[in-house]
Structure 1
Amino acid sequence: MQLSQNEDHNFSLSKFESMLKTNDVLFFDSNEFEGIIFHYLETGKFALAKKAVKLGLEQHPDASVLKLFRVEILIFEDKLSEADLLLNELHRLEPSNDEIYIQKANIFSKRDNHKMAIETLETALEFSTEEAEIYSLMAMEYMFMEDYENAKLYYMKCLELEDDDYAALYNIIYCFDFLEQREEAIDFLNLFLDKHPYSEVAWHQIGKQYFDLKQYKKALTAFDFAIISDDYFVGAYMEKGKVLEKLERYEEAIENYHITLELDDPTAFAYLRIGKCYEKTKQPKLALDFYTKAIDEDPLLDKPWIAITDFYLKKLNYQKALYYINKAISIDSENVLYWKRFAKINKRLNFIEEAEKGYKKALDLGNYELETWITRCDLLIKLGEFETALDTMYQAVEFYPETAEIEYRLAGLYFCLNQGERGYYHLKNALKIDAEYSIIIEELFPEIFKRNSIKALIEKNSN
């Protein structure tokens, strides 16, 4: 169905759009309608494609290609039964038309019947000269079924037929990655490079595999070959910069990131990496300059805000760190690590209520580290919220049973709530687990620790 964008085709488009504006009815042959419809579908102008199909079928009611475009639109609109009826009608007229089977498979796929979609595509293969396209569709069905081994196999068949099909190459590597077959991916890419030694995409992909395996020197060589194959390949310079960072060759990494800025539009990521490199080489002013450039380039990217947060944390400038962590959280409020930073910064500033809120949010988001539970508990104790602190410790017990740090806090909290019997129970429990942690009572509950009975019980178990 694909047509080239020649002068006649452009004239047909202009003529069609002029007709729509004037409401005149002009005649187009069926080939012209095919080109017009294909153009609108390719450029995402769905409403215009639909109009062209309607007008086309009014002028050429028996044109099977136009009917197939009609099927495509019906499938897009999820009118699958209507599309199926039209395909059955077309099949009776043209049983060897591969496009009919492809659209049938599309309907099966939409109905989540991927096995039937594959079987139907196998039938399409019997009549098609476009084997690579059908193998690609079959591979996609296997992807839907999460059968990545077969998906990989069919994308490989595409690549055998069309060795410049980089979409297939990327999808093959995606399957390898999903199956965690990094060594196998490298073997495959090496075989591909034996036939295509100047494939910048293959060199780039093999470099990424070596990077993930932490084989940085091999990754560096691969990215160098990608650049030799195409010295305008921005992605290769970017990946090379990341490898050089891992090798602690920061000045060279900066050079590569700068090349990406020269070859293409600046990216916040490149500015961020340059800033990180300057920070590693003890050039804080330049680091901050580039972090700021990253924010100016993309204010909605959270990572530069975090980089500046950490920059000020190292300098113990908690007020500025708080400003930037709030910015990061406003962009990604579901990030546990950001909330933990928020909590720690507020704790340093002695903003106890805000710090407690940060730890609570971290717990709500699934950060169940012991430190998070007990730090939140300690902040609640400072706020005098003993009941909430008690609830927090009972939640922690589910994850960390028989833990001294939790038992001492439970003991102290029960004493604060005048429930001495429970307090002694948990104190004895805690002392059995680890008597050395009894300092928790002294630090968190000094008034409780002063009681003679408490001191005596601790001394007895310590000895």
Structure 2
Amino acid sequence: MSKDFSFLNEDFDDLRDLLQQFENLRAGKSHSFLDEDSFEQIIDYYDEQDEVPIALQAAEIAIAQFPFSSALLLKKANLLIETKKYKEALQLLDKAALLDRNDINLYILQTDVYLALNQHEKAAAVLNEQIDQFEGEDKTELLLELADVYDDWEEFEKVFDCLKMALEHEPGNEEALHKICFWTEFTGRNEESIRLHNYIIDEDPYNHLAWFNLGTAFQGLKLYEKAIDAYQYAVAIDEKFDYAYRNMGDAYIRLRKYADAIEVLQKHLEIAKPEDVIYEAIGHCYEKQRKYTQARYYYRKASHLSPNDDKLYYKIAAAYMMEENWENAIKSLLNALKINKQSAEYNMSIGECYLEMGQEKEALLHFVNAVRIRPKSMQPWLQLVKGLYIFGFLEEALDQLANAEEKAGRKPVFQYYRAAVLIAMGKTKEGLLHLETALQQAPKILKKLVELDPAILQHVSVVDLVAQYRRKR
């Protein structure tokens, strides 16, 4: 059965007639009488069409005919604010206040003027003085307006206070519920938010936004199990509440419950527009489950939506590296490097792949690139020295260790590496002296030496020194 929308045509015809009568009035032609409501419609129309000069003219004509109409004065004041005539607007608002002090638009427009003049204290004072004079939705609207003033003033704790008062006054207000979710996280006032939203839920157990906000507050306190419970109530009330599925997925990831996270994030994909961050999160979950093929599949889906995100190509490469698929890892890393040419991390990873493949020239080239990009960072130097060590360039390794200490500082790990290089060169006595120094400085990172060359523990003198040092400890 077709619906009757004829009333829309009637409204349009009525407005068109009003506009024609106004044009006749402007042109000095005969016209029908225009009452106060008609002028308000005409002003609104021209304002919405961005024809502010005509809207102002309509307001002036209207006020001349209805000089005691506070509504028309407010319309003109709003137009003056739009044209940045703030002094004139304030004068007009003072006049409107003498006629009607019960219209909240008066105070909202005064606030707009003071904000435009960067007079936040006056803007807040206007609203604070009036809030208790109003009830119902008007009071809520003024509290929300005051919250915006404090936001612009960067009084962020007071933003939260205003939103809290708005919800205590009107627990179901959706605008306040949406906003307080952000400000709870921003201010860290999670305990207060929990108490507030428990109160709201007691008033209305089927308020899905309140359950969601309760979940985010629990999540802010790292109480992930409680957060998940709250999100589950939210989606039970509104099964298409995509943000609840998103946050629930994050909470499951924090708990390392990757299968559960995948399930709820897949639900998010069913009901919402695909997003790269959701695909990436699912890929992360599969990676943590060591299901690298599935991980790469979702990382690729994410990269299709965000082709300039180099980190996604890096994650694809990392999944290949976990399977020791060095050639495919290099292809993905090179894609990442095309986007971010100054990444030492990507150069190190490419170098590592070539190292595993025994391609010394390519490996060392990328390690040198990493050092050039981040000369004051320890890790690129370690990778370069490791490559030189593995490929047998021992003299060069010693030279680069000296350069590393000059650029990145004297680190205990460099002593361990120097010890390994000297022992490999047959300078065992000198190497053991450096090893002893390293053990004195940082005994806990002895594993770095073993990672460089596990075979070094086959040297009896090395094993004896380590055992001797442990006995002393």
TM-score (norm 1): 0.67
Structure 2: distance between partners of 1:131 and 1:296: 48
Post-superposition Cα deviations, 1:263-284, rounded to whole Å, max 9, x if no partner, equal 2333333333333333344443
Aligned match of 2:189: 181
Aligned match of 1:290: 298
> Which of 52, 55, 71 in structure 2 is aligned with 1:53?
55
Letter in 2 for 1:91: D
> Which of 393, 408, 415 in structure 2 is aligned with 1:396?
408
CA drift at 1:225: 0.7
Q: Relative to structure 1, is the Cα distance of residues 101 and 346 closer, same or farther in structure 2, using a 3 angstrom cutoff?
A: same
Q: Relative to structure 1, is the Cα distance of residues 187 and 160 closer, same or farther in structure 2, using a 3 angstrom cutoff?
A: closer
CA drift at 1:286: 3.1
CA drift at 1:230: 1.0
> Is 2:102 aligned against 1:99?
no
CA contact (8 A) 2:90 2:113 kept: no
Give the secondary-structure state (helix, strand or coil) at the position aligned to 1:60.
Answer: helix
Query: Could you tell me the percent identity over the aligned residues?
Result: 20
Give the secondary-structure state (helix, strand or coil) at the position aligned to 1:225.
Answer: helix
Q: 5 Å matches for 1:45-444?
A: 48=50, 50=52, 53-54=55-56, 56-57=58-59, 59-60=61-62, 62=64, 63-74=72-83, 79=84, 82-95=85-98, 96=101, 98-125=104-131, 130-301=138-309, 304-328=312-336, 339-346=344-351, 348-349=353-354, 350-361=362-373, 370-372=378-380, 393-394=405-406, 396-397=408-409, 403-404=411-412, 434=438
CA drift at 1:254: 2.9
CA drift at 1:179: 3.0
Post-superposition Cα deviations, 1:184-210, rounded to whole Å, max 9, x if no partner, equal 332322222221211111222222333
CA drift at 1:144: 3.5
Post-superposition Cα deviations, 1:377-436, rounded to whole Å, max 9, x if no partner, equal 999999x9x999988755634xxxx645679999xxxxxxxxxxxxxxxxxxx9996488
CA contact (8 A) 1:53 1:69 kept: no
> Which of 42, 45, 58 in structure 2 is aligned with 1:33?
42
Larger Rg, first or second structure (1 or 2): 2
CA contact (8 A) 2:314 2:346 kept: no
Structure 2: distance between partners of 1:139 and 1:228: 31
Letter in 1 for 2:200: F
CA contact (8 A) 2:316 2:329 kept: yes
Post-superposition Cα deviations, 1:135-156, rounded to whole Å, max 9, x if no partner, equal 1122222233443332222112
Unaligned runs of 5+ in 2: 1-6, 65-71, 355-361, 419-433, 447-468
Structure 2: distance between partners of 1:403 and 1:254: 42
Letter in 2 for 1:86: A
Q: CA RMSD in A?
A: 4.6
CA drift at 1:313: 2.5
CA contact (8 A) 1:240 1:256 kept: yes
CA contact (8 A) 2:43 2:56 kept: no
CA contact (8 A) 2:185 2:220 kept: no
CA drift at 1:70: 1.0
Give the secondary-structure state (helix, strand or coil) at the position aligned to 1:197.
Answer: coil
Aligned match of 2:461: none
Q: Relative to structure 1, is the Cα distance of residues 408 and 223 closer, same or farther in structure 2, using a 3 angstrom cutoff?
A: closer
CA contact (8 A) 1:68 1:100 kept: no
Letter in 2 for 1:65: L
CA drift at 1:117: 1.7
Structure 2: distance between partners of 1:13 and 1:268: 46
Structure 2: distance between partners of 1:286 and 1:121: 56
Aligned residues: 391
Structure 2: distance between partners of 1:192 and 1:122: 24
Which deviates more from structure 2 when the two are superposed, residues 25-34 or residues 268-277? 25-34
Which deviates more from structure 2 when the two are superposed, residues 111-120 or residues 92-101? 92-101
Q: Relative to structure 1, is the Cα distance of residues 9 and 379 closer, same or farther in structure 2, using a 3 angstrom cutoff?
A: farther
Q: Relative to structure 1, is the Cα distance of residues 12 and 433 closer, same or farther in structure 2, using a 3 angstrom cutoff?
A: farther
Letter in 2 for 1:190: N
CA contact (8 A) 2:43 2:59 kept: no
Post-superposition Cα deviations, 1:113-153, rounded to whole Å, max 9, x if no partner, equal 32222112234547766222221122222233443332222
Unaligned runs of 5+ in 1: 411-429, 440-461
Q: Relative to structure 1, is the Cα distance of residues 123 and 209 closer, same or farther in structure 2, using a 3 angstrom cutoff?
A: closer
Structure 2: distance between partners of 1:377 and 1:409: 8
Letter in 1 for 2:239: D
Q: Relative to structure 1, is the Cα distance of residues 378 and 249 closer, same or farther in structure 2, using a 3 angstrom cutoff?
A: closer
